[in-house]
Amino acid sequence: MSSYARRALLRFLAASPFVAGIGSVSRVLAEDRALPTASAADALDVFDLETAAQKVVPPAHWGYLQSGVDGEATLRANETAFSRYALRPRRFVDVSHIDLATEVFGAKLASPIFFSPIGSMRAFNPEGEVGVARAAKAKGALQILSTQASFPVEDVTSARGAPIWFQLYTTNQFEVTKKLLKRAESAGCPVVAVTVDTPAGRNTVTAARMRREDKRVCANCHAVDERGNPRLSANTKPMFGGIDMQGVGLTSASLTWDFIKRLKDNTSMKVVLKGIEAGEDAQLAVMNGADGIIVSNHGGRATETGRGTFDALPEVVQGADGKIPVMMDGGVRRGTDVYKALALGATAVGIGRPAAWGLAAYGQAGVERVLDILNNELRLAMIGCGARNVHEITTSSLVDRAPTDR
Ligand SMILES: Cc1cc2nc3c(=O)[nH]c(=O)nc-3n(C[C@H](O)[C@H](O)[C@H](O)COP(=O)(O)O)c2cc1C
């Protein structure tokens, strides 16, 4: 079969409602369109970097990165949700100057694309979050650092050369939470993004499965339990250094909306809620004093809702009612995805896995390449739709249609 015919068949299968849910089809498609890359510059889209990354990341770490939860319907929905809208080009607009710059909480960003927090990034490349910070510095991008990062907030801030945001796991002991807040604040973080989408566990099947396939000895790098399985608990992470971790869990199932006030009473950082997906919760976030929202389902790694974050964005924007900025992440793989999210009211758009693919494949250069690719695709979408700056990106560019394969 010719490669054209093979690709056409795979696209047909992927578009079919009967097989679209089968991960292997979309994976084969991704591999099919990916090119071999000898350097970051060879990558033509973020999927080229995904393919390059998979070649160098060991199975257990790859499973950690790529995993969704349960049957991964949410993971897939995040990516496919963007296809609900087509773009509606406009002509004879002077698009000789396109400005991607934006502002969040008064801070200038070169583009609306930011780095969402990812834990343990040294599992993909020794440069880890410091490599991401250097790329963010080179490109003027916002970086959010995970509580679970492989490097401490001070090192990453220094590599970024400007303030970064700190992602907070609430923990189950407020004294520990306060210490994390103080440390992030002292490092100069202006914003804490509190992750609220995983109050009590999750079922990352792919991660567990790929850990079993990995024949390396975890004890060479990780603390392990009596069966040789890695202890992936928080207490080995630098942000918990010097804290007594006896009985400390990353999250707590008993938190309610008054937690925002508790946080605000203990920090001068702005408090952004990461993981809001319902309009009512957006209203409650505003009422309870949150400064911003990130619509997120943890990249399909929290509840298996089957709903993409892009589909949740409009109701959250409506619930926030323009009172606080609404950002989003989940499944963003193209500049056109970013364009569509901005058109529906997002202030900025986060990427998780694509940055990790770039990092894994080529370190800092790979992360920079991811941003260049997505920013260029966004710029071209803006040119085509006659939007000269991010403020000119509106719903008038969107045409609603039944979801199809991209
Ligand atoms: C390997 C991995 C680790 C993550 N770690 C964190 C984390 O520590 N804290 C957090 O709030 N979100 C975490 N996330 C979620 C991301 O911040 C983000 O919401 C998600 O990756 C966006 O989806 P995308 O990967 O499809 O771009 C993680 C995601 C992945 C894939």
Alpha-carbon gap, residue 284 to 280, rounded angstroms: 6
Burial 144-158 (b: 16+ CB within 10 A, else e): bbbbbbbbbbebbbe
pLDDT at 93 over 80: yes
Reported as a pLDDT band with limits 50, 70 and 90, residue 403 is low
Ligand 1 close to Cβ of residue 194 (< 6 A)? no
Reported as a pLDDT band with limits 50, 70 and 90, residue 231 is low
Output the CA 115–ligand 1 centroid distance in Å: 10
Output the CA 163–ligand 1 centroid distance in Å: 20
Ligand 1 close to Cβ of residue 78 (< 6 A)? yes
* 136-140, 211-215, 258-262: least confident range: 211-215
Active site residues: 298
Helices (H), 215-331: 258-265, 279-287, 309-320
Q: Model pTM?
A: 0.92
Mutate to test the pocket of ligand 1, among 61, 67, 118, 371 (most ligand atoms within 8 A of CB): 118
Q: What percent of the chain has pLDDT over 70?
A: 88
Query: What would the mean pLDDT of 212-219 be, rounded to a whole number?
Result: 89
Reported as a pLDDT band with limits 50, 70 and 90, residue 9 is low
Output the CA 117–ligand 1 centroid distance in Å: 6
Query: Parallel, antiparallel, or unpaired: how do β-strands 144-145 and 191-195 relate?
Result: unpaired
pLDDT computed for residue 83 by the predictor: 97
Neighbours of 326 (CB within 10 A): 28
Of 1 and 42, which is predicted with more confidence? 42
**Tens digits of per-residue pLDDT, 61-91?**
999 999 999 999 999 999 999 999 999 999 9
**Tens digits of per-residue pLDDT, 278-316?**
999 999 999 999 999 999 999 999 999 999 999 999 999
**Tens digits of per-residue pLDDT, 332-388?**
999 999 999 999 999 999 999 999 999 999 999 999 999 999 999 999 999 999 999
Ligand 1 close to Cβ of residue 68 (< 6 A)? no
pLDDT computed for residue 234 by the predictor: 60
Widest pairwise Cα distance in the chain: 68
Please name the residue whose Cα sits nearest to atom 1 of ligand 1.
65
Q: Are 142 and 348 in contact (CB under 8 A)?
A: yes
| Of 61, 39, 57, 60, the residue nearest 48 (C-alpha) | 39
155, two tokens: 């090192």
Of 33 and 239, which is predicted with more confidence? 239
Q: Residue 379: what residue type?
A: R
Ligand 1 close to Cβ of residue 351 (< 6 A)? yes
Alpha-carbon gap, residue 172 to 249, rounded angstroms: 5
pLDDT computed for residue 22 by the predictor: 46
pLDDT computed for residue 4 by the predictor: 43
300, two tokens: 């399909």
Output the CA–CA distances (angstroms, integers) from residue 29 to 7, 14, 34, 47, in the order listed.
Answer: 7, 8, 9, 10
Alpha-carbon gap, residue 378 to 335, rounded angstroms: 4
Alpha-carbon gap, residue 144 to 169, rounded angstroms: 13
pLDDT computed for residue 230 by the predictor: 72
Residue with token string 């085509």: 384
